[in-house]
Amino acid sequence: MQEKSPTTVFEQFREAALEKPGLPFLCYPKSTTRDYLQDGAEISYGAGLRIVEDLARRYQKAGYREGHRVALVVGNRPDHFWHYLAVNSFGASAVPLNPEYLRHELAYGIDFAECAVVVGSRPRIDDLLAVTGELSPSPALLDIDNLPAEFPPPCRSAVPVNANPSKREALILYTSGTTGVPKGCIISNESSLAAGESYTTAGGLVDFEYGRERLFAPLPSFHMNVSVYTLNAITRIRSCIVLDDRFHASTWWEDIVATGTTCLHYLGIIPPLLVKAPASALDRAHKVKFGFGAGVDPAVREIFEQRFGFPLIEAWGMTETSRTIENCRPPRDTSGRGFGRPRPPWEVMIADESDAPVPFGVPGELLVRCAGPDPRAGFFSGYLKRPDETEHAWRNGWFHTGDVAVQREDGMLLFVERRKNIIRRSGENISAAEIEDALVTDNDVKSVVVISVTDELHDEEIMACIVLMPGVEKSETTARNIHERGRSRLAHYKLPGWIAFIDSVPVTSTQKVRKGLLFEEGADPRNDRRSIDMRPLKRRRVSSDTGQQPASRNVG
Sheet with 338-340: strands ordered across: 338-340, 413-418, 399-407, 364-370, 346-351
The dihedral sign for the CA sequence 501, 507, 512, 518: negative
State how far the Cα of 104 lies from the Cα of 130, in Å rounded to an integer.
Answer: 11
Q: What is the pLDDT of residue 508?
A: 52
Q: What is the pLDDT of residue 479?
A: 96
Res. 555: pLDDT tops 70: no
At 177, the pLDDT band (50, 70, 90 cuts) reads low
- End-to-end CA distance of the chain: give it in Å, rounded: 52
Q: What is the pLDDT of residue 61?
A: 98
Res. 16: pLDDT tops 50: yes
State how far the Cα of 330 lies from the Cα of 310, in Å rounded to an integer.
Answer: 15
Q: What is the pLDDT of residue 268?
A: 79
Q: What percent of the chain has pLDDT over 90?
A: 75
Res. 456: pLDDT tops 90: no
Res. 298: pLDDT tops 90: no
Q: What percent of the chain has pLDDT over 70?
A: 94
At 419, the pLDDT band (50, 70, 90 cuts) reads low
At 553, the pLDDT band (50, 70, 90 cuts) reads very low
Q: What is the pLDDT of residue 21?
A: 98
For the residues 319-338, what does the mean pLDDT come to? 90
Q: What does pLDDT average to over the chain? A: 91
Q: What is the pLDDT of residue 370?
A: 97
For the residues 234-263, what does the mean pLDDT come to? 96
At 273, the pLDDT band (50, 70, 90 cuts) reads confident
Kindly report which listed range (202-211, 413-422, 517-526) carries the lowest average pLDDT score: 413-422
Kindly report which listed range (240-244, 365-369, 419-423, 442-446) carries the lowest average pLDDT score: 419-423
For the residues 359-383, what does the mean pLDDT come to? 96
State how far the Cα of 441 lies from the Cα of 351, in Å rounded to an integer.
Answer: 38
Question: Rounded to whole angstroms, what are the CA distances from 85 to 9, 53, 171, 244?
Answer: 7, 9, 11, 20
Q: What is the pLDDT of residue 517?
A: 87
- Write down the pTM of the prediction: 0.82
State how far the Cα of 144 lies from the Cα of 117, in Å rounded to an integer.
Answer: 13
Q: What is the pLDDT of residue 551?
A: 33
Q: What share of the chain is helix, strand, coil (3-state, %, to 5)?
A: 30, 25, 45
At 552, the pLDDT band (50, 70, 90 cuts) reads very low
Continuous segment of H or E residues that includes residue 86 = helix 78-89
Task: Please confirm whether the linkage preceding 344 is cis (ω < 30° from 0).
Answer: no
Q: What is the pLDDT of residue 430?
A: 83
For the residues 235-261, what does the mean pLDDT come to? 95
Q: What is the pLDDT of residue 338?
A: 92
| 17-73 pLDDT per residue, tens | 999 999 999 999 999 989 999 999 999 999 999 999 999 999 999 999 999 999 999
**Bigger pLDDT: 215 vs 334:** 215
| 478-494 pLDDT per residue, tens | 999 999 999 998 989 99
Residue 487 DSSP symbol: T
Res. 119: pLDDT tops 60: yes
State how far the Cα of 340 lies from the Cα of 190, in Å rounded to an integer.
Answer: 24
Most confident region among 176-180, 245-249, 532-536 by mean pLDDT: 532-536
Res. 455: pLDDT tops 50: yes
The set of residues, in sequence order, having a beta carbon less than 8 Å from that of 424 and lying 6+ positions away, is 295, 418, 430, 452, 459, 460
The dihedral sign for the CA sequence 113, 118, 122, 126: positive
For the residues 507-529, what does the mean pLDDT come to? 79
At 426, the pLDDT band (50, 70, 90 cuts) reads confident
For the residues 428-440, what does the mean pLDDT come to? 81
Q: How many CB atoms lie within 10 A of CB 375?
A: 17
Q: What is the pLDDT of residue 367?
A: 98
Q: What is the pLDDT of residue 548?
A: 38
SS (H, E, C) 192-258: HHHHHHHHHCCECCECCCCCCCEEECCCCCCCHHHHHHHHHHHHHCCCEEECCCCCCHHHHHHHHHH
Q: Which domains does the chain have, with CATH numbers?
A: 9-27+41-323 (3.40.50.12780), 335-420 (2.30.38.10), 422-537 (3.30.300.30)
Q: What is the pLDDT of residue 510?
A: 38
Q: What is the pLDDT of residue 512?
A: 58
Q: What is the pLDDT of residue 428?
A: 77
Grouping H, G, I as helix, E, B as strand and the rest as coil, residue 120 is strand
Using a CB cutoff of 8 Å and minimum separation of 24, what contacts does 42-46 make? 42/240, 43/78, 45/13, 45/16, 45/17, 45/20, 45/21, 45/238, 46/17, 46/21, 46/22
Q: What is the pLDDT of residue 540?
A: 66
State how far the Cα of 491 lies from the Cα of 286, in Å rounded to an integer.
Answer: 36
Kindly report which listed range (279-293, 394-408, 415-429) carries the lowest average pLDDT score: 415-429
Res. 425: pLDDT tops 90: no
